[in-house]
Amino acid sequence: MKKLYTLLVLFPVLAFALIAAKVTTQDATSSLIGSAETNSERMIRQGRQIFQFDTFGDQAFWGGQLKLHQTINTLTPKQALALGLKIDSEALPPAVLQAIQNGTVNLNDPAVTLLLIKLKAVLGVLGFFNQNGTLSSVGLTCAVCHSTVDDSVAPSVGRRIDGLANRDLNVGAIAASAPNLQPVVELLRLAHPTITENQVRSILMTWGPGKFDAELFLDGKAFNPQQVTNAVVTGTNVSGATLIPNARGLSGHNLHTWTGGWGTVTYWNAFVAVNELHGKGTFFDERFDNPQQFPIAAKAKLGHVATDPDSDKVTSKLPALHFYQLALPALKPRPGVDFDPDAAERGDKLFSDKANCNSCHREPLWTEPGWNQHSPGEMKIDGFEASRAPASINASGKPVHGYRTMNLAGLFVRERGLFMFPQDKGRFYHDGRFKTLLDVVNSYDARFNLNLTDQEKHDLIEYLKSL
């Protein structure tokens, strides 16, 4: 009896001790091993914050050197919207939102632009303010080019969508409006010793909405001298700028960017943050040392940028930034709204059979698992843009430049012009040479002798819109 009594008394104590021991071991093990779920939530939270709001210290360039804030201090909201800047409605207090909805906001008052920037409502534009409310500097983030809004409040005003390109944004016009372009001129003089500030401004003005020329500041090539024949862009000496690509649905893809010649998402993130946005960070790539291909990058040593770890504002952010971008899913088209399901089903067959698209755009990744790049010869298009990226080595040891097999998921958004001004809908391939998906399909039909009928082209397009 006494034994039983002791047991009964002891049992809860023992049980408690055992549970406590288990909990501590679990704690010890989980802090040792970590949890994928907790980690991914944290990385996505941090990555989103970086993508939307982190300037990596680049205000020292955009404000400090180019004095872009001086332009913005007198920029009316009307001008800001015309340049393609987008407003995050969720960052607006109810009164401001109401005023926009009622149309009572003064679109000609630069103070309104400054208020919107102060509220962190202008996508990708971060302001630093004087006591009197004017800007003392300005920095840019990834979101300026790679986010747009759903237009739910008004055109260019709505909820943020990260990863969808802002195809309205006129990056060239924004840069050209900076009071001091001398730092850019000096960079370009490494390839063109006599280039003037006016010439640089006019090059920037050739880019147009939705485009940016990242390679210009490495190779100094502003125009494509090769013959381009197609629907929208035709002729020689077309701008070397490329479309801002879709940056959703990218996980599982090996090579990135239009050419695939640079590397992965995280490679490009480090490069852009340091050498394009001019944030304070570290970036290495010895391929930049080739003076024939990269006359500017080689001289300016852009492949050897080192910042000491205590002042580096980029390197520690790369893991979360990478993770966040890979977490962004492609937009999902709605059957019957965004595409015709019956036609799409017929198009599905064509995609794999007669039209042979699946030989490169592998379902359901829409690029090749493995080496997802093709030479200009294989693509039967000019090789200008491909030649601007580093080459890889082919089977016979020759260097080859290529184009990356682009993702097709979420393509319907661009064909419909959803979340974009209607005049800017569409535009496909690296330089936007095709305006519509029909232009794309017609071009494949001609380049690869597919002999598609009009009905087949229609079905194939409905299928492309269903991805």
Cβ proximity to ligand HEC: between 57 and 105 the closer is 57
Rounded least distance, CB 188 to ligand HEC, Å: 17
Cβ proximity to ligand HEC: between 112 and 147 the closer is 147
**Diameter of the chain by CA atoms?**
104
Cβ proximity to ligand HEC: between 40 and 356 the closer is 356
| Contact positions vs ligand HEC (CB under 6 A) | 140, 142, 144-146, 171, 212, 214, 242, 244-245, 247, 250, 256-259, 265, 268-269, 272-273, 277, 321, 325, 355-357, 359-361, 374, 378-379, 403-406, 408, 411, 428-430, 440-441, 444, 460, 464
Q: CA geometry: angle at 271 spanning 190 and 251, to 5°?
A: 145
Rounded least distance, CB 411 to ligand HEC, Å: 6
Cβ proximity to ligand HEC: between 135 and 144 the closer is 144
Rounded least distance, CB 421 to ligand HEC, Å: 18
How many Å apart are CA 406 and CA 374, to the nearest integer? 11
How many Å apart are CA 375 and CA 148, to the nearest integer? 32
Token pair listed for 448: 């690869």
Rounded least distance, CB 348 to ligand HEC, Å: 12
Where b means 16+ CB within 10 Å and e means fewer, 142-162 reads bbbbbbbbebebbebbbebbb
How many Å apart are CA 199 and CA 188, to the nearest integer? 11
Cβ proximity to ligand HEC: between 29 and 394 the closer is 394
Rounded least distance, CB 465 to ligand HEC, Å: 10
How many Å apart are CA 260 and CA 337, to the nearest integer? 33
Rounded least distance, CB 96 to ligand HEC, Å: 26
Token pair listed for 188: 């370009």
Given a contact cutoff of 8 angstroms between Cβ atoms, the answer to whether 259 and 389 are in contact is yes
Rounded least distance, CB 78 to ligand HEC, Å: 22
Identify the burial level of 54 via C-beta atoms within 10 angstroms of its C-beta, where 0-12 means exposed, 13-18 middle and 19 or more buried. Answer: buried
Rounded least distance, CB 33 to ligand HEC, Å: 29
Given a contact cutoff of 8 angstroms between Cβ atoms, the answer to whether 39 and 84 are in contact is no
Cβ proximity to ligand HEC: between 114 and 413 the closer is 413
Phi-psi region of 294 (alpha: psi -120 to 50; beta: other; left: phi over 0): beta
Cβ proximity to ligand HEC: between 158 and 217 the closer is 217
Given a contact cutoff of 8 angstroms between Cβ atoms, the answer to whether 464 and 347 are in contact is yes
Cβ proximity to ligand HEC: between 300 and 437 the closer is 437
Rounded least distance, CB 432 to ligand HEC, Å: 8
How many Å apart are CA 407 and CA 387, to the nearest integer? 21
Rounded least distance, CB 270 to ligand HEC, Å: 8
Rounded least distance, CB 32 to ligand HEC, Å: 32
> Which residues, 6+ apart, have CB-to-CB distance to 79 below 8 Å?
none
Cβ proximity to ligand HEC: between 92 and 323 the closer is 323
Rounded least distance, CB 425 to ligand HEC, Å: 13
How many Å apart are CA 119 and CA 113, to the nearest integer? 10
Neighbours of 258 (CB within 10 A): 21
> Which residues, 6+ apart, have CB-to-CB distance to 153 below 8 Å?
87, 89, 97, 100, 101
Given a contact cutoff of 8 angstroms between Cβ atoms, the answer to whether 74 and 156 are in contact is no
How many Å apart are CA 274 and CA 82, to the nearest integer? 28
> Which residues, 6+ apart, have CB-to-CB distance to 37 below 8 Å?
none
Token pair listed for 127: 């302001």
Cβ proximity to ligand HEC: between 273 and 305 the closer is 273
Cβ proximity to ligand HEC: between 70 and 431 the closer is 431
Cβ proximity to ligand HEC: between 153 and 203 the closer is 203
